[in-house]
Chains A and B, each alone.
Chain A
Amino acid sequence: MKQSALVRRWAAVAGVVGLAFATGSCTRKTASSGGLVAGDAASRVYVPPGSYDEFYAFLSGGFSGQVNVYGLPSGRLLKEIPVFSQFAQDGYGYDEDSRDMLTTTAGFIPWDDAHHPEISMTDGVPDGRWLFINANNTPRLARIDLTRFETDEILEIPNAAGGHASPFVTPDTRYIVSATRFSIPIPQADVPIAEYARHFKGTISFVRADQPGKMDIAFQILMPGFDYDIAHAGKGPSDGWFFFTTYNTERAHEKLELNASQNDKDYVAAINYRRAEQCVAEGKARDVAARYLHHFVDPATHQTRTETRSSVKLLEAAKCEGVAYFLPTPKSPHGADVDPSGEYIVASGKLAAVIPVHSFTKMQAAIAARKFDKMEEGIPVLNYEAVLAGEVKNPGLGPLHTEFDGKGNAYTTMFISSEIVKWKLGTWQVEDRIPVYYSPGHLMIPGGDSKKPWGKYLVSLNKITKDRYLPTGPEMSQSAQLIDISGPKMQMLLDFPTIGEPHYAQAIPASLIRDRVVKYAKLADNHDPWVTRSEADGGIQRTGKRVDVKMIAIRSHFAPDNLEGIQVGDTVYFHVTNIEQDWDIVHGFAMFKNPNAELILSPGETRTLRWIAPAPGIYPFYCTDFCSALHQEMQGYVRVSPAGSSVPLSANVARRK
Chain B
Amino acid sequence: MKLSMPSRALVAIAAALLLLLFVTPLWRISLQAPQYPEGLGLKIELTTVTGVEENDLQNINSLNHYIGMKAIDPATIGVLRVMPWAVAGLALFGFVVAAVGRRALLYAWMTSFVVFGVAGMVMFWWWQYDYGHHLDMEHAIIKIPGMSYQPPLIGVKQLLNFRATSMPDVGGWLVAVAFVLGAVAVFRTVRCHARASALG
- A positions within 8 Å CB-CB of B: 554-556, 580-583, 629-630, 656-657
Contacts and interface: CB of A to CB of B under 8 A. Distances in A.
Given A581-B59, A629-B66, 12 more contacts: A555-B63, A556-B141, A580-B62, A581-B58, A582-B55, A582-B59, A583-B38, A629-B142, A630-B66, A630-B141, A656-B65, A656-B139
A519 to B, nearest CB: 9
Nearest to A630: B141
A579 B128 CA distance: 27
| 6 smallest beta-carbon distances between A and B, as pairs | A581-B55, A582-B59, A581-B58, A630-B141, A555-B62, A582-B55
Contacts of B71: 657
A580 B55 CA distance: 9
A78 to B, nearest CB: 18
B62 A554 contact: yes
Contacts of B58: 581
Q: Which of A582, A583, A629, A657 has the most chain B CB atoms inside 10 A of its CB?
A: A582
A162 to B, nearest CB: 47
Contacts of B139: 656
B108 to A, nearest CB: 45
Contacts of A656: 65, 139
Interface string B137-173: 0010110000000000000000000000000000000
Interface of B: 38, 54-55, 58-59, 62-63, 65-66, 71, 139, 141-142
A94 B119 CA distance: 60
A581 B63 CA distance: 12
Contacts of A629: 66, 142
A555 B38 CA distance: 19
12 contacts: A554-B62, A555-B63, A556-B141, A580-B62, A581-B54, A581-B55, A581-B58, A582-B55, A629-B142, A630-B66, A656-B65, A657-B71
A518 to B, nearest CB: 13
A656 B71 CA distance: 11
A656 to B, nearest CB: 7
Contacts of B142: 629
Nearest to A555: B62
Contacts of A583: 38
A657 B63 CA distance: 14
A428 to B, nearest CB: 52
Nearest to B36: A582
Q: Which of B38, B55, B59, B71 has the most chain A CB atoms inside 10 A of its CB?
A: B55
Contacts of A556: 141
A583 B38 CA distance: 10
A630 B141 CA distance: 9
Q: Which of A581, A583, A629 has the most chain B CB atoms inside 10 A of its CB?
A: A581
A507 to B, nearest CB: 26
Contacts of A581: 54-55, 58-59
A14 to B, nearest CB: 54
A657 B38 CA distance: 27
Contacts of B38: 583
Nearest to A519: B38
Contacts of A657: 71
Nearest to B142: A629
A555 B141 CA distance: 12
Contacts of A555: 62-63
A629 B71 CA distance: 20
Nearest to B37: A50
A128 B63 CA distance: 36
B36 to A, nearest CB: 9
A269 to B, nearest CB: 52
Nearest to B40: A582
A555 B66 CA distance: 9
A630 B65 CA distance: 12
A515 to B, nearest CB: 14
A630 B66 CA distance: 9
Contacts of B141: 556, 630
A521 to B, nearest CB: 12
A580 B59 CA distance: 8
A657 to B, nearest CB: 7
B161 to A, nearest CB: 10
A582 B36 CA distance: 10
A629 B55 CA distance: 21
Contacts of A554: 62
Contacts of B55: 581-582
A629 B66 CA distance: 10
Contacts of B54: 581
B126 to A, nearest CB: 23
Contacts of B62: 554-555, 580
A367 B51 CA distance: 67
Contacts of B63: 555
B60 to A, nearest CB: 10
A613 B67 CA distance: 37
B197 to A, nearest CB: 64
Nearest to B58: A581
B110 to A, nearest CB: 44
A583 B36 CA distance: 10
A331 B188 CA distance: 98
A555 B58 CA distance: 12
A358 B42 CA distance: 64
A184 to B, nearest CB: 53
A657 B70 CA distance: 10
A554 B71 CA distance: 15
A583 B55 CA distance: 10
A577 to B, nearest CB: 15
Nearest to A582: B59
A638 to B, nearest CB: 24
Nearest to B73: A657
Nearest to A604: B55
Contacts of B59: 581-582
A583 to B, nearest CB: 8
A630 to B, nearest CB: 6
